[in-house]
Chains A and B, each alone.
Chain A
Amino acid sequence: MKIIVCVSHVPDTTTKVNVAADGKNIDPAGVKFILNPYDEFAVEEALRLKEKYSGEVIAVSVGSDASKEAIRQALAMGADKGILIKADKSDTFAVAELLANTLKTQGADLILLGKQSIDFDGMEIAPMLAELLDMPAATVVVSLQIEGSTAIAEKEVEGGKEKIALSMPCIISAQKGLNDPRYPSLPNIMKAKQKPIEEIAATASAPRTSVIKMDKPEKKRIGKILQVDGNANAVAQQLAQLLHEEAKVI
């Protein structure tokens, strides 16, 4: 089975977001970048399928040389090789299109990726790839079984799950809960340094969206703090009244 995992390089979840001087982007100063956490589930699932059915796992990313770090992390987990599509990301559609152009030449049986990148949180790439590659896709998947040439995926939806049958090759976006990603061992981190990363130079097509500004949400909070001081009943009554009469939410 040939499996492609699309990975992205994103600011760590502990990042405090500061807006850059251009007012449109995050200020990268002091920000630590990591392999997108949802992509770890995708890489893990690919490795488990390879262990079961044999085959090859290729990690693909779009971006600058820095994105090699994300690929390297996937290689350290156990992926066989990497592909870096070197291009400026003009917008999300352009990234999906760059990925699709490369994936078309690869003939994968399965394409895996995280359900969203934790930077722009758009959840756009998997559905866009589905259309661009004319492949079935299931997103936000928490369980995946392969039965012959059919993939059976469970997608998380409001209040439960949906069971989806897809003809392969297909695209699956991973949600937390799909598996427990492995930590790369030290020998595997060393081995990953020797694994090949192919570089493909590409040009993104014209963007379909443009960023006008980035800013931080400023919401004024009332900040009324009550102290229990030995009388939990009194503060509980007080809070219930405040929620009822002042905030009017109950």
Chain B
Amino acid sequence: MNILIYFEERNGSIRKPSFEAIEAATKLGASSIAAVVASASSASVLNEQAKRAGIAKIFTVDDARFGEYSSKAAAKVIAEAAKAFNADVVIIAATSRGKDLAPRVAVRLAAGYVPDVTNFSVNGSTIHATHPVYAGKANVTMEVTTAVKVFSTRPNLWKAPKELSTNEASVEALSLNLDESDFSDRTKELMLSQGKLDVAEADIIVTGGRGLKGPENWGLIENLATSLGAATGASRAVVDAGWRPHSEQVGQTGKTVSPTLYVAIAVSGAIQHLAGMSSSKTIVAINKDANAPIFAVCDYGIVGDAFEVLPQLTEAINNVRRH
């Protein structure tokens, strides 16, 4: 089985979820894995990073117009690489960019597509791909019935190989005829919030709810997040009240997250919120209402006043992490 992985670049580096796709490809039983990079950044730098375990071949495209990312043009490059490699499967990490690209690539290859896959099971040549639906309230297991199959894989669930492979991957520059209409969407600017971890990617998340009473108390959440090296998240009530931006909202109409550690502070645990975080590895809840639904899904809970507990917990975690 030939598997092609899209390597997504940001600021000259290949992003971690793309490397995680290598493990997913290995699990699918790939006999040969190739990667495709669609970027104007120095091909040699990217290729150096791309030489990870198992990658036999790297497809690149030499076109200065990729200095401004275009979803349409990138989809065309990936589809052409898939054809050149005779790929049976294309895997694209389900990042913001990947969720946009994968359906396009599937249409270009007349392939069936399963989004945001959290688990694969393989039986002979049959692949079953599981993806969460209803924001995680249920899972659907699907089979792609076309010859070529496209999957996007949810970040944080597979391990990126640590070792760089000593084997040289062969590099093939694709020759494509891209015209101006292929670049009809152009990314002009990436505006990052400085120094802030994004809930969608964070390994640890500390989320605050309305029980914090007001935005003036958010410092308690930020202090705990800093001690844990965590991103801050917010419940819907907090976002709707205007204390925090919606980009931090966790839940059914916010982001679905699966960090290693999820700490919910003064969050009651409405079903929409639980849907967005219930696949987290370890869940901690702190709430003064012993009957809050969040306690039913947590691994560790503290029934108590967040204003009392948080400063102590921040201190205790600092102590543990210092040792």
Spell out A's residues near B (CB within 8 Å): 11, 13-17, 19, 26, 37-38, 91-93, 96, 118-128, 130-132, 135-140, 142, 154-167, 170, 175-177, 207-217, 219, 221-228, 232-233, 235-237, 239-244, 247, 249-250
Contact = CB atoms under 8 A, between A and B. Distances in A.
Contacts of B256: 121
B303 A227 contact: yes
Majority-rule SS of A interface residues? mixed
Contacts of B111: 208
B260 A249 contact: yes
The 7 A-B residue pairs with the shortest CB-CB distance in the complex, in nearest-first order? A228-B304, A208-B112, A236-B312, A160-B192, A240-B316, A136-B185, A131-B107
Contacts of B302: 225-228, 235-236, 239
Given A93-B106, A211-B140, A243-B284, A164 B185 contact: yes
A221 B139 contact: no
Contacts of A250: 204, 228, 261, 317, 320-321
B320 to A, nearest CB: 5
B185 A165 contact: yes
A240 B106 CA distance: 46
Nearest to A213: B141
B308 A228 contact: yes
Interface residues of B, number: 98
Interface of B: 69, 71-72, 75, 95-97, 99-104, 106-108, 110-116, 128, 131-146, 184-193, 196-198, 200-201, 204, 228, 245-247, 249, 252-254, 256, 260-261, 270-272, 278-279, 281-284, 290, 295-305, 308-309, 312-313, 315-317, 319-321
Given A211-B142, A226-B303, A13 B95 contact: no
Contact of B132 (A11, A121, A240): A121
Given A118-B134, A227-B304, 19 more contacts: A37-B253, A92-B113, A121-B133, A121-B135, A123-B103, A126-B100, A127-B99, A139-B100, A156-B247, A158-B201, A159-B192, A160-B193, A209-B113, A209-B144, A212-B142, A215-B139, A223-B296, A227-B302, A235-B312
B82 to A, nearest CB: 14
Given A176-B254, A208-B111, A225-B301, A122 B116 contact: yes
A160 B302 CA distance: 33
A241 B196 CA distance: 27
A157 B282 contact: no
A118 B135 contact: yes
Contact of B115 (A14, A122, A175, A222): A122
28 contacts: A13-B271, A26-B134, A38-B253, A93-B112, A121-B256, A123-B99, A124-B115, A125-B103, A126-B100, A127-B102, A136-B185, A159-B192, A160-B190, A163-B187, A166-B185, A208-B110, A208-B111, A216-B137, A216-B139, A217-B132, A221-B299, A225-B298, A235-B309, A243-B284, A243-B320, A247-B261, A250-B317, A250-B320
B193 A224 contact: no
A226 B146 contact: no
Nearest to B118: A217
A210 B100 contact: no
Given A13-B253, A127-B103, A236-B316, A159 B198 contact: yes
A140 B197 CA distance: 19
A235 B102 CA distance: 46
Given A176-B254, A250-B261, A120 B133 contact: yes
A235 B308 CA distance: 11
A119 B133 contact: yes
Given A127-B71, A208-B145, A216-B137, A223 B298 contact: yes
A122 B134 CA distance: 10
Contact of A157 (B96, B304, B315): B96
Contacts of B201: 158-159
B48 to A, nearest CB: 23
A98 B226 CA distance: 49
Contact of B142 (A140, A156, A209, A222): A209
